[in-house]
């Protein structure tokens, strides 16, 4: 049984980006777009994210599995969220006193009196449709920044990147070590599964109820976990003999941020702070530019 890292060794602008820039860009963008549901800002962010994804030069055949999941997930989130909220899906933005209703969808909902369930039409309005589109743009734009990371980042750069972003040495080294352990763990899983199969254990033919099935997973999980812990003793001894943790650690790989990396990091952090400041100021100014994050931005001809 093999675990292959999805990293594709290719020369593209995103591949050449410093690992820190990719993570900071993703986090800053994620935290920024969580603070607003303005359609135009979200559309701008989506276009930026799409451009970034295009620069990664990833093929559909390489990422389609991830995208199938993301698309299914986001569509489900948006529509289930709408139904579970009873049509009152808009949140975090100013709503007009009367929404611009397009249709009432026949549906069932909970009532406060017997029989506690009854017809509850779901509101379909310009505002709710705009909000759902904005939600989709937000989720897909975050995915456009997130998905390229495993495909464009060498796993050996992850540990040093976290170290340079301020994570303590021991944690950063543990991140690096965990990537190195992965193939060994996968091999152990495969070996254990084959050995248990030889003893009549079939993971895809577990009989019994849910509790029994889970308990019957033990012959696969327990030997791998305990065997790995026992095997780790040799690694611990080897590291102690080499005085791990005694002094400041140096790294085999060094990251060198280029000008473009520094620009991206600076702009990401500055953008996040700007959005945050605008979000805070929007609570004190009811109209005007400073309130822009608190409105959906629906054009007047759609919502007169």
Partner 1 sequence: MAVSEGREERSRPTIWGIGVRQVVYMALGAALYGGLSYLTNILQLPATSNVSFRPGIVIPLFFGVVFGPWVGLFTGGVGNFLGDYISGYGVYWNWDVGNGIIGLIAGLALYFTWGRYYRVASIVTAEIFGVVGILVGLGFAAYSDIWVSKYNFAAATGNFVPAALSDLINGIILLPILLVAYNAATRRMGRG
The least CB distance from residue 214 to partner 1, in Å, is: 5
Subset of 59-78 contacting partner 1 (CB under 8 A): 63, 65-66, 69-70, 73, 76-77
The least CB distance from residue 184 to partner 1, in Å, is: 8
Among 26, 122, 292, 298, binds partner 1 (CB under 8 A): 26
Region near partner 1 per CB under 8 A, out of 94-102, 239-247, 267-275, 279-287: 239-247
Subset of 155-184 contacting partner 1 (CB under 8 A): 170-171, 173-182, 184
The least CB distance from residue 146 to partner 1, in Å, is: 3
Size of the site for partner 1 (CB under 8 A): 76
Among 27, 71, 124, 303, binds partner 1 (CB under 8 A): 27
Q: Would you count residue 296 as binding partner 1 (CB under 8 A)?
A: no
Q: How far apart are CA 128 and CA 101, in angstroms?
A: 9
Nearer to partner 1, 124 or 175 (CB): 175
Nearer to partner 1, 154 or 287 (CB): 154
Among 228, 271, 295, 303, binds partner 1 (CB under 8 A): 228
Nearer to partner 1, 80 or 277 (CB): 80
Q: How far apart are CA 218 and CA 222, in angstroms?
A: 5
The token pair that represents 251 in the structure block: 């790294």
Please list, in sequence order, all residues whose beta carbon lies within 8 angstroms of the beta carbon of residue 295, skipping any fewer than 6 positions away: 38, 93, 94
Region near partner 1 per CB under 8 A, out of 25-33, 44-52, 254-262, 270-278: 25-33
Q: Would you count residue 48 as binding partner 1 (CB under 8 A)?
A: no
Q: How far apart are CA 273 and CA 1, in angstroms?
A: 45
Nearer to partner 1, 179 or 304 (CB): 179
Question: Among all chains, which residue has been given the structure tokens 């620069």?
Answer: 55
Q: How far apart are CA 289 and CA 282, in angstroms?
A: 9
Among 146, 257, 267, 303, binds partner 1 (CB under 8 A): 146
Subset of 190-219 contacting partner 1 (CB under 8 A): 210-211, 214-215, 217-218
Give whole-number Cα distances, 126 to 67, 95, 100, 200, in Å: 28, 11, 6, 60
Nearer to partner 1, 60 or 301 (CB): 60
Between helix 39-54 and helix 126-146 the angle, nearest 10°, is 30
Among 54, 55, 92, 109, binds partner 1 (CB under 8 A): 92
Subset of 111-130 contacting partner 1 (CB under 8 A): none
Q: Give the per-residue contact string, 3-22, with partner 1 (x = CB under 8 A; - = no).
A: xxxx----------------
Among 25, 143, 161, 293, binds partner 1 (CB under 8 A): 143
Q: Would you count residue 271 as binding partner 1 (CB under 8 A)?
A: no
């Amino acid at each position: 049984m093999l675990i292959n890292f999805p990293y594709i060794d290719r020369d593209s602008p995103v591949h050449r980006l410093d690992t820190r820039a990719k993570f900071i860009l993703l986090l800053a963008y994620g935290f920024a777009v969580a603070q607003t549901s303005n359609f135009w800002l979200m559309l701008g962010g989506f276009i930026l994210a799409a451009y970034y994804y295009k620069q990664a030069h990833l093929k559909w055949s390489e990422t389609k599995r991830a995208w199938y999941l993301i698309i299914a997930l986001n569509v489900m989130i948006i529509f289930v969220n709408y139904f579970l909220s009873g049509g009152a899906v808009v949140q975090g933005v100013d709503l007009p006193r009367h929404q611009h209703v397009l249709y009432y969808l026949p549906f069932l909902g909970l009532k406060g009196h017997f029989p506690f369930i009854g017809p509850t039409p779901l509101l379909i309005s310009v505002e709710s449709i705009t909000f759902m589109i904005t939600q989709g743009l937000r989720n897909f734009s975050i995915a456009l920044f997130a998905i390229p990371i495993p495909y464009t980042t060498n796993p050996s750069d992850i540990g040093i990147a976290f170290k340079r972003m301020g994570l303590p040495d021991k944690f950063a080294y543990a991140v690096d070590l965990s990537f190195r352990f992965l193939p060994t763990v996968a091999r152990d899983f495969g070996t254990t599964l084959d050995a248990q199969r030889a003893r009549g254990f079939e993971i895809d033919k577990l009989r019994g109820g849910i509790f029994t099935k889970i308990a019957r997973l033990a012959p696969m999980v327990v030997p791998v976990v305990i065997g790995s812990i026992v095997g780790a003793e040799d690694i611990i001894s080897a590291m102690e003999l080499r005085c791990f943790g005694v002094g400041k650690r140096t790294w085999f790989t060094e990251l060198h941020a280029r000008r473009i990396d520094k620009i991206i990091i600076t702009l990401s952090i500055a953008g996040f702070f700007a959005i945050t400041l605008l979000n805070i100021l929007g609570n004190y100014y009811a109209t005007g530019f400073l309130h822009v994050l608190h409105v959906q931005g629906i054009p007047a001809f759609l919502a007169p």
